[in-house]
Amino acid sequence: MTYFTASCDPAEKNEEFAKSLKLDYAILSDPEKKTAKAYGVVTEKRPFPHRWTYYIGIDGKILHIDKDVKVGDHGNDIATKLGELKVAKKKK
């Protein structure tokens, strides 16, 4: 399993943010918003990204999109959804 976040901020800002939180995953940068537009996260009517989570299978198909992300609970929401999707748990 691979996981990461994506941001429309520049790579330098994302790197600084990741270090400040001691993250163990990558924050991908999309400052030109090309990928964000392709996924519908940024639109002409909404230039700032929606906070959505995409679950993508190993075959590249989108399995689920969570458009109701609540930052405080999202870790638990992700774990629950991964279980529903039968994704193997990360080995410790």
Q: How confident is the model at residue 91 (pLDDT cuts 50, 70, 90)?
A: confident
pLDDT tens for each residue of 18-73: 999 999 889 999 999 999 999 999 999 999 999 999 999 989 999 999 999 998 89
Decide if pLDDT at 90 tops 90: no
Q: Determine if the pTM surpasses 0.75.
A: yes
Each residue of 28-61: b (16+ CB within 10 Å) or e?
ebbeeeeebbebebbeeeeeebeeebebeeeeee
DSSP SS3 for 54:
strand
pLDDT reported for residue 64: 96
